[in-house]
Structures are given as structure tokens and as C-alpha cells.
Amino acid sequence: MSAIEDLIQTVAALREPETGCPWDIEQDHQSIAECLVDECCELLQTIDRLDMDHMEEELGDVLLQVVMHAQMAQEAGHFDFESVCREVNEKLIRRHPHVFGQGNLDSSEAVLVQWDQIKAAERKRGPVQSGKFKDLPNQLPALMYAKDVYQQIQKQELPAEDVIDQAAIDAKAASIEEASLGKQLFEIAAACRAKGIDPESALRRYAQHVVDTLEQR
């Protein structure tokens, strides 16, 4: 058997009602959701450090969470790890016709445009988009949420002059360096701390205000 087959069998054995591990048997999708967050954060730490030996271990821990969720879904008759792999593999092939089909793209920008076009034509899963903005998970960190909101404003060329200062954004983008931007973000976080303001909540609320304002137009 392959190593992945060994892992799937091990997780199934841990979940076996009569002979498995009491802790693993008690878990459900919600109860181990925080484990996935923790493992992803630990993996990100190894990536930032380029700690390849430790990264191998942390990738395994993240994979374990995927296999565990797939095992739970299989037990409930929804899907299994095989179908998860099949789904993502078919998606990759479908969204890369320039690699697995015909045609040729010579830039990352062209690839992203084609990706969005193919994605828009696919069968939708999850909540149906009812407004201008796609459904963004509330669990996203506020910085990622704000960045995604701005990306959608750019893609759709939405008029947002009354909620964002595009000229200021363009000026910063033209002149600022990563270290300088990191310093500014740190100073903003420190100022929030001094003022008794949670920077995550402040940024999330304003990003949501931008979304709500533009959705009403």
C-alpha cells in the first residue's frame, strides 16, 4: 500500500466505534475545526522560516486534518478522501486548459483571467451569490478580508470614491516598500492597543462598511 493509503486506514481505525481511540471517536467536524486552524498556523510558521525539515512534519499534520474530515464525511455517507482528491484534480485540469488541453498562455495575468472565466461558468456550490461581492468567509483574518474586498472592487471596477481613497492607495503602492508598510501596520496596531481598540475588529467593521455601502447602490 502507499503511504496515503496507510494514513487513511490508520484514521479509520482511530474512528472505529468498538476498537478505536475514545477521543477520536467523540470528535465531529465542528469539534476539530480549531485543530485545523492551529495546524495551518504552525505550517505557516515553518514556511516563513523556510524550515524544510519541520515543514514536512507540519504538512503531515494539516493532511491529517483533511483525512479526518473526509473520514467523518464517509461515515455519514457524504463523500470520502478519494472523491475529495478526484474533485480537486478534475478542477485543476479543467481550469488549466492551456496545460492539459489546447491553447497557450504566456503570462500569469492571462492565466488568472482565464481561471476566473472558467470558474464563473462552473456549477456553483455553497451559498448563492446575491450581491456584487462573493461570499467571503467570516473566519478570514481582517487583513485578508479587506484585501479580498478591495480585489473585488478592482475586478468589477466599482465606484467606491466615498469609502476608499484610491489616490492615496496608488501613491502608497508606487512608493512604499514591504518593510515600510510592515512598520506602518505595526504602528497602527500599537496605536489601537494604546487606544483600547481591537485592530482586527476595527478593520473588519470598516471593510464590511465598504461592502454594505457598495451593495446598496
Res 77: pLDDT: 98
The domains of the chain, with CATH numbers, are 3-91 (1.10.287.1080), 142-215 (no CATH)
Q: What CA dihedral angle connects 113, 117, 123 and 126, to 10 degrees? A: 40
Summarised one tens digit per residue, pLDDT across range 91-116 is: 999 999 999 998 889 999 999 999 98
- Phi and psi at 69, nearest 5°, equal -65, -40
Residue 133 has pLDDT above 90, yes or no: no
Residues with Cβ < 8 Å from 48, sequence gap 6 or more? Answer: none
Residue whose C-alpha is closest to residue 68's, from 94, 42, 32, 102: 32
Q: Rounded distance, CA 190 to CA 105, Å?
A: 45
Residues with Cβ < 8 Å from 200, sequence gap 6 or more? Answer: 141, 142
The angle at the Cα of 106, spanning 104 to 108, to the nearest 5 degrees, equals: 115
Summarised one tens digit per residue, pLDDT across range 42-71 is: 999 999 999 999 999 999 999 999 999 999
